[in-house]
Chains A and B, each alone.
Chain A
Amino acid sequence: MNNSIIQIQGLQFDWDKSKVPFITIPELEVLKSEHLLIKGDSGSGKTTFLNLISGVLPLSSGEIKILGENLADVSSSKRDAIRANHMGVIFQMFNLIPYLSVIENVLLPIHFSEVKKNKIRAKGSTAKEEAIRLLSELGLQQKEIHEKKVTELSVGQQQRVAAARALIGSPEIILADEPTSALDEKNSMRFLDLLLEECNKNNSTLLFVSHDSRIHQRFQQSISINDFTEDIPIVEKKRKEAVECSS
């Protein structure tokens, strides 16, 4: 198998069939362990793009291949399974289920994916140990935090819990939807560095959506979602510039 994790061909998506496509991506390839920053103005469709990749929204036309599997060809429940088994998602805010403890939130994906569960088992560790390890690496090593209600955490801590949840079970793809926008600059950078470090350890491919220009230099690659609709050659060029991340 090649190093291609996500392959997009002739993707079109619109909310309303009669209208001009909302998102058009002629071609895009994301490689294993690549960290890709997706920039775009508000309302440009960054989030919709993530919903398409994750298989929550069905495409209007074209294809998205995740690990070789074309999302356009499979049922919505299969798309749910692909997301459960191979992806981790971090949102801008409100990432956590309020009635679960920190550790329970981190463990949430394990209940929806045998694949993730087995990966942890293959490492010779239990899901709970893995959750504690991830939380500690993300700077939440204090035991009392693990059993806390998530509503008692600061926003920065909440985002790190969300990152641990996305990373548990070492999914191939991490989707991050502006996870730093609710944080101040110092915390933003710290969060981003931790996330990148963990992605590197896991060999995970990171798709990071942000309009925040401050974080630009941390990424090897960046594309602008606006490019897709404006100038196809630019995308092509950016894609070709993509370098595999050393692991």
Chain B
Amino acid sequence: MFILKLALKSLLNRKFTVALTIFSIAISITLLLGVERIRIGVENSFTNTISGTDLVVGGRTGDEQLLLSAVFHIGMASNNISWNRYEDIAANELIDWTIPISLGDSHDGFSVIGTNEDYFKHYKFANKQHLKFQTGKAFRETFDAVLGADVAATHEYKIGDEIVINHGSGEIAFQDHGDKPFRVTGILERTGTPVDQTIHVSLGGIEAIHIDWVDGMPDKLMNFSAEEVEELNLEPEFITAFLVGLKNRTDVLTLQRQINTNKSEPLTAVMPGITLQRLWNMMGKIETALLIVSGFVAIAGLIGMLVALLTGVSERRREMAILRSVGASPLKIFGLISSESIVITFWGIALGIGFVFLLLQIAKPILETQYGIYLNPSGISLQEIYIIGTVIILGILIGIIPGYKIYKYSLLDGMTVKV
């Protein structure tokens, strides 16, 4: 089509301005799509903080509180679960595996979790990824500890280092378990989840450091050394919570009801995915704010295009008069100017999408290893198609403004321009 060819030639004639305009639209698109990608990435990594776990079970409390304490180690569980009850439930034939969790101690603000080897076998995060060791291996002895990536990085701990666990959470500890230090046997790879800020020890270890304590204080009469304590029965009396994986996921509601309604000990079982989604929705306002900001950036880019096109309008009245004289109708002239803005918008969007994918390729490994944000590097989501569609429509609508102005001028000027 000749008008489109003419529009392209005219744009080429103004390479510099046009390139800048295309670039500014590209940046808006990059920002819009980038924010959208990261938003979804963050949401996914949050809602997948724990994955592959069907139920989280703890003492009777609220769903969110249980999840916050058991998975994020925020706040304290108000009730414990007796070891016997745990063993009862774990024996349920619907259950494939369980991971017991015992919380309450810390090391320099990092929470300490007492668990067993199943933790490293069954705990999954993100897209059902297993925990991996950077170096070393899982704990075997009572006073072995496995560190999350952040814990190791912050203190530059290495295998064989000794660490002392404090009683209670919080960075300033008043009571420590200095008499029974732990030895680092393994360091986990970064996951981008609370696991990175956690020290993992065996349930026996947790039991061992508290065995000579009474009412949260070291007992004045009892005092066992680290060696003595290993000879004792270190089976825990209580745990804080446990994670459940089912043989068949469709049984989740059945088991949840069984646990929640059981009269022998008041327990709460929650489905982590649903509860995480609910927590995310509570914090989700930030993402809307981000999206609004990048929306404004897109509008600024389009207004930039409008300004670039409008400043050309009066200079181009002569050009339009020439086209009128060779028989172009005002409508064709309107089409010429409008197709210029469509071309600019189109290239801006294409370039912006290119930028996004390029940046995603560059940022993907960094975001994954440093922040645990897993981005989807390819494909375009429906939401993104909406965003692109909106920008195209706005671009066309904005292109109509100078087109209409030129149209009015060319009706008025005819073949003669008095500028």
Residue on B nearest A104 in the bound complex, by CB: B9
- Interface residues as binary, A92-114 with B (CB distance below 8 Å gives 1, 0 otherwise): 00111111100010001101110
Residue from the list B2, B325, B328 in contact with A54, Cβ < 8 A: B325
Q: List 17 A-B contacts (CB under 8 A).
A: A50-B416, A51-B414, A56-B324, A76-B329, A76-B330, A77-B329, A80-B324, A91-B415, A94-B417, A96-B322, A98-B319, A100-B9, A111-B2, A112-B2, A112-B327, A112-B328, A165-B326
Query: How far apart are the CA atoms of A111 and B324 in the complex, in Å?
Result: 12
**Residue from B9, B321, B327 in contact with A109 in the complex, judged by beta carbons closer than 8 Å:** B327
**Which residues of B have CB within 8 Å of A84?**
326-328
Distance in angstroms between the alpha carbons of A47 and B417 in the assembled complex: 10
**Is B13 located at the chain interface by the 8 A CB criterion?**
yes
Binary flags per residue of A74-88, CB closer than 8 Å to B gives 1, else 0: 001100110111010
- B residues within 8 A CB of A77? 329, 331
B326 touches A112 (CB 8 A): yes
Q: Answer whether residue B318 sits at the interface, using C-beta atoms and an 8 A cutoff.
A: yes
- What range describes how many residues of B lie at the interface? 20 to 34
A57-B10 Cα distance, complex, nearest whole Å: 27
B91 at the interface (CB under 8 A from A): no
Residues of B within 8 A of A66 (CB): none
Decide: A51 near B416, CB < 8 A? Known: A97-B319, A99-B12: yes
User: Which residue of A85, A97, A100 contacts B327 across the interface (Cβ within 8 Å)?
Assistant: A85
A89 at the binding interface (Cβ < 8 Å): yes
- Cross-chain contact A56 with B327 (CB below 8 angstroms): no
Cβ of A172 within 8 Å of any chain B Cβ, yes or no, is: no
Residues of A with C-beta under 8 A to B416: 47, 50-51, 91, 177
Query: Given A51-B415, A56-B415, A97-B319, A91–B9 Cβ distance below 8 Å?
Result: no
On chain A, the residues within 8 Å of B327 by CB distance are: 80-81, 83-85, 87, 109, 112-113
CB contacts under 8 Å to A, within B43-99, are: none
Please report which residues of chain B, range 324-350, place their CB below 8 angstroms from some CB of chain A when the two chains form the complex: 324-331
Residues in chain A near residue B324, CB distance under 8 A: 56, 80
User: How long is the Cα–Cα vector from A22 to B96 in the complex, in angstroms?
Assistant: 97
Residues in A neighbouring B9, C-beta threshold 8 A: 99-100, 104
Q: Which of B13, B321, B414 contacts A98 (CB 8 A)?
A: B13
Contacts of B415 in A (CB 8 A): 50-51, 54, 56, 89, 91, 177
A99 to chain B: which residues have CB within 8 Å? 9-10, 12-13
Interchain CA distance A109-B328 in the complex, whole Å: 9
Tell me, in angstroms, the Cα distance from A230 to B321 when the chains sit together. 31
Q: Which residues of B contact A (CB under 8 A)?
A: 2, 9-10, 12-13, 318-319, 321-331, 414-417
B249: min CB distance to chain A, Å: 65
Taking CB as reference atom, which chain B residue is nearest A78? B329
Known: A81-B327, A89-B326. 6 other contacts (CB 8 A): A54-B325, A80-B328, A99-B12, A100-B9, A108-B322, A111-B2
Interfacial chain B residues near A51, Cβ < 8 Å: 414-416
A77 CA / B9 CA spacing, docked (Å): 25
Q: Contact string, A111-152, partner B, CB cutoff 8 A, digits 1/0?
A: 111000000000000000000000000000000000000000
Instruction: Tell me how far the C-beta of B406 lies from the nearest C-beta in chain A, rounded to whole angstroms.
Output: 14
Measured between beta carbons, the chain A residues less than 8 angstroms from B13 are: 98-99
- Give B418's nearest chain A residue, CB to CB: A47
Chain A residues contacting B414 (CB-CB under 8 Å) are 51, 54, 56-57
In contact, A108 and B326 (Cβ under 8 angstroms): yes
What's the Cα separation between A165 and B323 when bound, in Å? Answer: 12
Chain B residue with minimal CB distance to A47? B416
Residue in A50, A81, A85, A91 whose Cβ sees the most chain B Cβ within 10 Å = A91
Contacts of A113 in B (CB 8 A): 327
A112 to chain B, nearest CB (A): 4
Interface string of A48-84 (1 = CB under 8 A from B): 0011001011000000000000000000110011011
Question: Which residues of chain A are within 8 angstroms of B10 by Cβ–Cβ distance?
Answer: 99
Residue of A nearest to B416 (CB): A47
Q: CB-CB < 8 A to B2: which residues of A?
A: 111-112
CB distance from A198 to the nearest CB of B (A): 17
**Minimum Cβ distance to chain A for residue B12 (Å):** 7
- What CA separation (Å) do A96 and B330 show in the bound complex? 18
A179 to chain B, nearest CB (A): 12
- Least distance between B328 CB and chain A CB atoms (Å): 6
Complexed CA–CA distance, A91 and B419 (Å): 14
In the complex, per-residue mask of A190-228: 1 if CB is within 8 Å of any chain B CB, else 0: 000000000000000000000000000000000000000
Complex contacts, B322 vs chain A, CB 8 Å: 91, 94-97, 108
Residues in chain B near residue A108, CB distance under 8 A = 322-323, 326
Q: Which 5 A-B pairs have the closest CB atoms?
A: A84-B327, A99-B13, A56-B414, A89-B325, A112-B327
CA distance A76 to B13 in the complex (A): 31
Tell me, in angstroms, the Cα distance from A212 to B386 when the chains sit together: 62
Q: How far is the CA of A145 from the CA of B328 in the complex (A)?
A: 26
Using CB atoms, name the residue of chain A closest to B322. A97
Chain B positions within 8 Å of A98 at CB level: 13, 319
B167 → chain A closest CB, angstroms: 79
In the complex the two chains form, what is the Cα distance from A77 to B330 in whole Å?
A: 9
Contact in complex: A91, B325 (CB < 8 Å): yes
In the complex, the answer to whether A80 meets B329 with C-beta atoms within 8 Å is yes
Instruction: State A94–B418 Cα separation when bound (angstroms).
Output: 12
Cα A148 to Cα B133 with chains together (Å) = 69
Q: Residue among B321, B327, B416, B417 with the most chain A CB within 10 A? A: B327
> Whole-angstrom distance between the alpha carbons of A85 and B328 in the complex?
11
A168 to B264, CA, bound (A): 101
CA distance A95 to B321 in the complex (A): 9
Query: What distance in Å separates the Cβ of A97 from its nearest Cβ neighbour in chain B?
Result: 6
Nearest residue (CB) in A for B5 is A111
Q: In this complex, what residue of B is CB-closest to A90?
A: B325
> Which residues of A from 156 to 183 have beta carbons under 8 Å from B?
165, 177
- Chain B residues near A87 (CB-CB < 8 A): 327
Q: Tell me the complex Cα distance, A215–B167, Å.
A: 110
